[in-house]
A and B are shown apart, each in its own frame.
Chain A
Amino acid sequence: MKYLCLVYTEEAKLAVLSDQEFEQLDADSLAYDNEMREAGHFVVAHALQSVDSATTLRVRKNKLSATDGPFAETKEQLCGFVLIAAKDLNEAIRVASKIPSARVGSVEVRPVRELAEHEPWDKRG
């Protein structure tokens, strides 16, 4: 089973990190990517540019509207993601809890819905 770990942080908090702290966080993140890869949990991971660079799309009645900024104005923003493979939620939590950014922000663990295998969630059970 795949789980997407969404990493949220307050960008204001990241901005006040010293260069050295920021580099350390990057280095730790890359090191943990390798650790997950060796353990067979790693699928893909990326950090994201600041929310200033975000565009939110909506298609309504076949018309596209593109607006500036993230989907919702919240205190914490999505700053990266890690897609992992784990046998169940407990294993996913074990792997995700060691994501270095969890120390400065939070990590939301979401099971991936496999479109080929499952039916739409709102029609099940």
Chain B
Amino acid sequence: MSEAGDTISQRVEEIYRTESRRVLATLIRLLGDFDLAEEALQNAFAAAVAAWPRDGVPQNPRAWLVSAGRFKAVDTLRRRARFNAVERELANSLENTAVDEAALPELEDDRLRLIFVCCHPALPPDAQIALTLREVCGLRTEEIARAFLTTAPTVAQRIVRAKSKIRDAKIPYEVPVLAELHERLEIVLHVIYLIFNEGYSASSGEGLTRSDLTLEAIRLARLLAALLPQPDSEATGLLALMLLQQSRQAARTSADGELVLLWCGRRWLRGTSARIPCRPRLRRFMPKRQTARRRIGARLRGSTIC
């Protein structure tokens, strides 16, 4: 392969790493089926590998991938041997609805919608967490199994059952209406914190930490906090807690990747935490009146390391 081809395949790899879960979340919304969306995602990337060296990387790769994935799904639905009325209808409606590329910023919310689907109270708690880690964060089944201290087949089974229930009981792909939001929030916050923890102390991979996961958890918590009509002390408290922890991220490992204990090294590294709030800003995140467990958590950790 030419040098340019190599660069393009590196670029595809990088886009896969950063964008594939977002593309998947949007495809699940459009297709309403986890497995079909997963297959469409793989096909879309296969199409990208074929087309991009020839045509160049599109300006908005995510929109391109969503669009390609949708067309591939229509193909899959049409090819299926057991082609029934429901699938025919879905294929037709998919073909006739255009993805508005200008509306892409709104697609950001698809991952949040996906979290609310994965954390639906109709699913058992261990399945909620496993499904979120798999579908939203893209963790492998083996990694999830390690976190649960169980075997990969058990986790895989839980995920398969949860996906079937979402399809058969028709759990909708939506952020709940206001009246239900607060009841549903607790599980979602719990799962976001678990994502953060996986990044804070990764169970696999080369590094001690995975900042893609910690930053993603922070991004989701911000999005959630922004969606709430009035500040929720648990949501803002969790955000404060994660921001505080993240501010030490760079100071937690030495140059060769070893863990630096709190009392051995510098607590913060200058210039590495530009987006991290100082204490007065953290205080703004913490509503005064309500008692919130996570707010207290942030306070306690704040007083230990500040």
A interface residues with partner B (beta carbon < 8 Å): 1, 87-91, 93, 109, 111, 113, 117-119, 121, 124-125
Least CB separation from B173: chain A residue = A88
Residues A90 and B167 in contact in the complex (CB < 8 Å), given A117-B85, A125-B35: no
CB-contact partner of A89 in B164, B171, B180, under 8 A: B171
Nearest-neighbour CB distance to chain B for A30, whole angstroms, equals 26
Given A117-B84, A117-B85, A119-B82, CB of A89 within 8 Å of CB of B35? no
- Residues 138-197 of B at the A interface (beta carbon under 8 Å): 163-164, 167-172, 174, 176, 180
Q: How far is the CA of A118 from the CA of B180 in the complex (A)?
A: 31
The CA-CA distance from A125 to B160 in the complex, in Å, is 9
Q: Is the pair B169, A125 in contact by a Cβ cutoff of 8 Å?
A: no
A90/B164 in contact, CB under 8 A: no
Judge whether A111 and B82 touch: CB under 8 Å. no
Partner of A111, one of B163, B168, B172: B168
Once bound together, how far apart are the Cα atoms of A124 and B167, in whole Å? 11
Q: What is the distance, in angstroms, from A54's C-beta to the closest C-beta of chain B?
A: 27
Query: 8 A-B contacts, Cβ less than 8 Å apart?
Result: A88-B170, A90-B171, A90-B172, A90-B176, A109-B169, A111-B169, A111-B170, A117-B85
Establish whether residues A125 and B172, one from each chain, have CB atoms under 8 Å apart when the complex forms: no
The residue in chain A whose Cβ has the minimal distance to the Cβ of B176 is A90
Q: What is the interface of chain B mostly: helix, strand, loop, or mixed? A: loop
Contact B170 A1 (CB under 8 A): yes
A125, B38: Cα distance in complex, Å: 13
Contact B86 A117 (CB under 8 A): yes
Task: Check A88–B85 contact: CB distance below 8 A.
Answer: no
Instruction: Name the B residues within 8 Å of A109 (CB-CB).
Output: 169
Q: What distance in Å separates the Cβ of B224 from its nearest Cβ neighbour in chain A? A: 18
Which of B82, B164, B171 makes the CB contact (< 8 A) with A88? B171
CB-nearest residue of chain B to A111: B169
Cβ-based interface call for B122 (8 A): yes
The residue in chain B whose Cβ has the minimal distance to the Cβ of A113 is B168
Residue with the highest number of chain B CB atoms closer than 10 Å, among A91, A93, A109, A118: A93
* Given A89-B120, A125-B164, 14 more pairs with CB closer than 8 A: A88-B172, A89-B172, A90-B171, A90-B174, A93-B122, A111-B168, A111-B170, A117-B84, A118-B84, A118-B86, A119-B82, A119-B84, A121-B168, A125-B167
A117–B35 Cα distance when bound, in Å, is: 20
Q: Who on chain A is nearest to B84 by CB?
A: A117
Centre residue among B168, B172, B176 by max chain A CB count within 10 A: B168
